[in-house]
């Protein structure tokens, strides 16, 4: 994880000089806020957080990669409209022409995720491991920064946020109060210990992920 974090820090510094615009776009707000140098820690937080969030989610067969596939599909559309002069202007996005090429990478990530899911679905025949989860999570974080949709990413990746928050709350509660909030963290294990079958947990998290992605995309029209 240390090497992954260092890589994300280096990437955030590189993106600061590559990207001409460092504005923060908020859902339902028709204004862009120039972050300036604050862009660097924000980018670092998004990339490191996304990397570790996907890794924490990778605890059940097909859970992490299916959620990644859904998010990547949404980013495929976001990358295209961000690089398109007409669509970017219509949706009040920060236009960055090179993101049109990023559409290809996002589409490839969707295809690769679905191909991997074929063998990783319950019961799994192959496993992602830390190397895959950390790298894919970092890739999603980089994409979010490039298309300038960090806040919307937190919505679309709500399952990843929930998994990470459950670990933080569990550890914090145990250290401060000596009590656990959940039966086990990350939260997908909590539902397992409550008696939910593994496929049931996975499918319901898929549904939640799909709903959150649709909500995140819908915010583009709220401006």
DSSP characters for 87-149? HHHHTT----TTHHHHHHHHHHHHHHHHHHHHHHSSSPSS--HHHHHHHHHHHHHHHHHHTT-
What confidence tens digit (pLDDT) does each residue in 67-86 have?
999 999 999 999 999 888 88
Q: pLDDT averaged over the chain?
A: 87
Q: Which of 98-102, 154-158, 177-181, 207-211 has the lowest mean pLDDT?
A: 98-102
Whether the ω angle into residue 106 lies within 30 degrees of 0, i.e. cis, is no
Q: Residue 8: pLDDT band by 50, 70, 90 thresholds?
A: low
The per-residue pLDDT for range 166-185, each reduced to its tens digit, is 999 999 999 999 899 999 99
3-class state of residue 21 by DSSP: coil
- Taking phi over 0 as left and psi of -120 to 50 as alpha, with beta for the rest, 99 belongs to alpha
């Amino acid at each position: 994880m240390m090497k992954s974090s260092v890589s994300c820090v280096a990437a955030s510094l590189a993106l600061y000089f590559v990207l001409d615009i460092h504005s923060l776009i908020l859902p339902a707000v028709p204004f862009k806020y120039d972050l300036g140098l604050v862009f660097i820690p924000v980018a670092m937080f998004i990339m490191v957080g996304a990397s570790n969030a996907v890794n924490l989610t990778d605890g059940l067969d097909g859970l992490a990669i299916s959620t990644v596939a859904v998010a990547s599909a949404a980013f495929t559309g976001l990358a295209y409209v961000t690089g398109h002069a007409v669509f970017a202007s219509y949706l009040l996005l920060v236009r960055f022409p090179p993101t049109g090429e990023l559409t290809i990478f996002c589409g490839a990530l969707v295809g690769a995720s679905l191909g991997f899911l074929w063998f990783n679905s319950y019961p799994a025949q192959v496993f992602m491991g830390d190397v895959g989860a950390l790298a894919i999570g970092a890739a999603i974080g980089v994409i979010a920064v490039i298309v300038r949709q960090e806040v919307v990413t937190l919505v679309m990746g709500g399952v990843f946020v929930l998994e990470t928050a459950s670990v933080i709350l569990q550890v914090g509660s145990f250290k401060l109060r000596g009590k656990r909030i959940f039966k086990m963290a990350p939260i997908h294990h909590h539902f397992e210990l409550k008696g939910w079958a593994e496929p049931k947990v996975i499918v319901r998290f898929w549904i939640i992920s799909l709903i959150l992605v649709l909500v995140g995309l819908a915010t583009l029209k709220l401006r």
